Structure 1
Amino acid sequence: MARYHIETYGCTSNRGESRQIEQALRDGGHHPADGPESADVAILNTCTVVEKTERNMLRRAAELDEETPADLVITGCMALAQGEEFRSADLDADVLHWDDVPQHVLNGECPTVTPDTEPVLDGVVGILPIARGCMSDCSYCITKQATGRIESPPVEENLEKARALVHAGAKEIRITGQDTGVYGWDRNQGESLLPELLERICTEIDGEFRVRIGMANPKGIHGVREELADLFATHDELYSFLHAPVQSGSDDVLADMRRQHCVEEYVEVVETFDEYLDYWTLSTDFIVGFPTEDDRDFQQTMALLRETRPEKINVTRFSKRPGTDAADMKGLGGTVKKERSKAMSELKMDVVAEAYEAMVESDETREVLLVEDGTDESLVGYDGAYRQVVIADAEERGLELGEFVECEITSHNTVYAFGEPVN
């Protein structure tokens, strides 16, 4: 399991966010390190009260970047309000929203941020775990030992849970699971029941809401890719968003990872969604520095990133999980992994910025569902493709969480956009 180091600066609210991040990591089987030098990931939760504080945050980020051989994640108020300060400081770090930190840290392993399969209502967001376990046997992942093979409740049961969340006030339902694409394989002779569940949620539940599909491995969704893409194109209730972690652009490395899919299958999924949808978001994950990854493998991964151009990308340096087969492999040096991670992260920022710049340049307005508090007077929402949009003066305008707002996209901050309500 991964060892994490987390540092928190600022107010009680920031400390609360860190507690939630830490709880999610513990639910995923991770545990605290003795310090940044022995961590697999270091997390800096920042404050931005005054200029002196900002200088201290930049200094501490640089220190952590030097102190830890691990991934560095920067979150918190300064990361959200002034993320470019960190990006321009030549730091080997990912700048993320609080809510995105657990998923990023758990990258490469089945997500277990929800410890059971009971739905949770958090504000206007309903979290619906549709199954427990997965059908994979990845050589680097220890989560499978805790969760086992897929156990899928009936479609009717998950449908009723979704209906209860909407009736309780959920405006966004986040469907989660270790691998949502293989939901129902244990009940339906290896055929996914995810399309049936999604269609029934969209057609049988009254109310105005949106649905986001959680992580689905390429192998699990490859066989139902056309059916899923058609559902996204047909039902406005579904965010046109797909999180399909490819992990590598090399078939040789994927085989060593025991990922079950090949690069071609991942590309076919992407091409199918491109065929059905004019505007959608592809999210994927890459593990950099797997023990058997050579320079050619890494260049193939970089080429795949350039080819498919995902709008949301998680990049994580490989770290050994005790008890996994990959832990016994002779690893690459930390310097090699760090250099490859930096190169991929730089390319990632170019690709993501291009996607958000296109939103600014488009003449189209976007309907945004507000679901999260931001900093100061801002609220955070998502458009139909689950692109993050911040309305800076939302509370001053009298806007509230759960509202749908038509917005003009006026600018972006590389990984999220700023919107101006048109009415």
Structure 2
Amino acid sequence: MARYHIETYGCTSNRGESRQIESALRDAGHYKVDSPDEADVAIMNSCTVVEKTERNMLRRAKELEDETADLIVTGCMALAQSEEFRDHDVDAQILHWDDVPEAVTNGECPTPGPGTEPVLDGVVGILPIARGCMSDCSYCITKAATGKIDSPPVEENVEKARALVHAGAKELRITGQDTGVYGWDDGERKLHTLLDRICTEIEGEFRVRVGMANPKGVHGIRDELAAVFAEHDELYNFLHAPVQSGSDDVLGDMRRQHQVSEYVEVVETFDDALEEWTLSTDFIVGFPTETDADFEQTMALLRETRPEKINVTRFSKRPGTDAADMKGLGGTVKKERSKAMSELKMDVVGEAYDAMVGETREDCLVVEHGTGDSVKCRDAAYRQIIVQNASEHGLEPGDFVDVEVTGHSTVYAFGDPVRKRQPAD
């Protein structure tokens, strides 16, 4: 769990984005502090209206860099003029609004509030299917807050999912510290069973996104899980399996339980089962025992598996964890490795989105309003497509629409609607 400080500049849209960021951080167990020198991470939601504003943003970013352990810059200036921060040697992660919450976690499991009660937010239903995990990662403080996996019965989660759909949810987000080990405490991993029953037993038109599932838990049910994804159109073809390193030595020091080969086998199984899907993963760079050779293995794994959603986090110590007692790498080393991996990430992700340009993606779900008069849509592989001038097209969250992809901004696409339909009753 991290202490965060957030500063927001600019318009109402930016303030709205900051509220969404803070909501996600609170749901993940992080807590807000008033000043950057108290924080593990500072977040600056930037503005770029005029040249004077830009100068103020750069100045404040440098101040925050000096006052906190890690800095994340997001918002309009970060997205439109990211090179300005780099040119002025601002040591920060430059991220889209949507990517900020995951970047704060330092590779830790998400930590929702007490219990596993579902939440309806617009047309998005959030369903925590269990609490706790089976891991004992050396860098993660979350385990102290959550304990071992505690899985409610499949029937109970199906009923919660049904209630969310009946209440208006069009997208169900299956969440947990590690969804892949759901049911392990009862002697059998049941994620694939739960997903199959949600898709077959609940009436209505909706989509399901599966949240973070560590490679070790997924590996043992990879064939069954991939088969369920292939069978049901309700499931987004999307899997978030955080590998964290491409080196078995580092994974051992992290106590991650899986090996690189198991992660690769999961990827290969989904490649064989699905014509198109999105692999999401996380990497921690600069772990105390990570050598140059270890880092090169991680870069090679990124190139080999080519995930389309990648969270790159510089290692930072969490109090009370075993990794906090390890002699750390210098900040310069972590900065250089983070920069190199982030550049490779942008190449890999940009290539995937560039390949979409000119295609028509069918039955995209309008999930939420974006900045200004835009909406955020998700295609079958959970890729994000932004449609501008949404009101002119009569698009609202919950609509299904065919979208022609007209361009991209590396980590998401832009598109024009070609056919809208209301979901079937």
1:234 corresponding residue in structure 2: 231
Give the Å deviation of 1:103.
2.3
Over 3 Å counting, the alpha-carbon distance change for 1:221 and 1:65 in structure 2 is same
Give the Å deviation of 1:25.
3.3
- Kept in 1: contact 2:43–2:71 (CA 8 A): yes
Distance 1:97 1:159 in 2: 33
Distance 1:235 1:387 in 2: 18
Structure 2 counterpart of 1:385, one-letter code: A
Matched, 1:265 2:265: no
1:25 aligns to what SS in structure 2? helix
Structure 2 residue ranges without an equivalent (≥5): 420-425
Give the Å deviation of 1:86.
1.2
Over 3 Å counting, the alpha-carbon distance change for 1:37 and 1:351 in structure 2 is farther
2:330 corresponding residue in structure 1: 333
Matched, 1:418 2:414: yes
Give the Å deviation of 1:277.
1.1
- Kept in 1: contact 2:363–2:380 (CA 8 A): yes
Matched, 1:351 2:351: no
One of 387, 392, 401 as aligned partner of 1:391: 387
Over 3 Å counting, the alpha-carbon distance change for 1:76 and 1:268 in structure 2 is same
Structure 1 counterpart of 2:231, one-letter code: T
Distance 1:162 1:204 in 2: 10
1:408 aligns to what SS in structure 2? strand
Show CA shifts across 1:134-153 (max 9, x none). Answer: 00000011111110000000
Distance 1:27 1:44 in 2: 20
- Kept in 2: contact 1:84–1:413 (CA 8 A): no
Structure 2 counterpart of 1:127, one-letter code: I
Distance 2:373 2:34 in 1: 37
Show CA shifts across 1:174-215 (max 9, x none). Answer: 00000000000111x1x3100010001111111110000000
- Kept in 2: contact 1:212–1:241 (CA 8 A): yes
Over 3 Å counting, the alpha-carbon distance change for 1:32 and 1:126 in structure 2 is closer
Matched, 1:5 2:31: no
Distance 2:202 2:26 in 1: 34
1:186 aligns to what SS in structure 2? helix
385-394 or 88-97: which moved more?
88-97
- Kept in 2: contact 1:242–1:283 (CA 8 A): yes
Distance 1:396 1:54 in 2: 31
2:45 corresponding residue in structure 1: 45
TM-score after normalising by structure 1: 0.92
One of 375, 380, 385 as aligned partner of 1:379: 375
Q: Equivalences for 1:21-100 in 2 at 5 Å?
A: 21-22=21-22, 24-26=24-26, 28-32=28-32, 35-36=35-36, 39-48=39-48, 50-52=49-51, 55-56=54-55, 58-60=57-59, 62-63=61-62, 66-67=65-66, 70-79=69-78, 83-87=79-83, 89-90=85-86, 92-100=91-99
1:365 corresponding residue in structure 2: 361
- Kept in 2: contact 1:24–1:114 (CA 8 A): no
Over 3 Å counting, the alpha-carbon distance change for 1:22 and 1:380 in structure 2 is closer
Structure 2 counterpart of 1:141, one-letter code: C
1:365 aligns to what SS in structure 2? strand
1:352 aligns to what SS in structure 2? helix
1:225 corresponding residue in structure 2: 222
Distance 1:280 1:28 in 2: 26
Distance 1:262 1:341 in 2: 22
For the aligned residue pairs, the C-alpha RMSD in angstroms reads 2.1
1:289 corresponding residue in structure 2: 286
TM-score after normalising by structure 2: 0.92
Give the Å deviation of 1:11.
3.8
1:403 corresponding residue in structure 2: 399
96-105 or 238-247: which moved more?
96-105
Over 3 Å counting, the alpha-carbon distance change for 1:381 and 1:60 in structure 2 is farther
236-245 or 99-108: which moved more?
99-108
Distance 1:306 1:64 in 2: 35
Structure 1 residue ranges without an equivalent (≥5): none
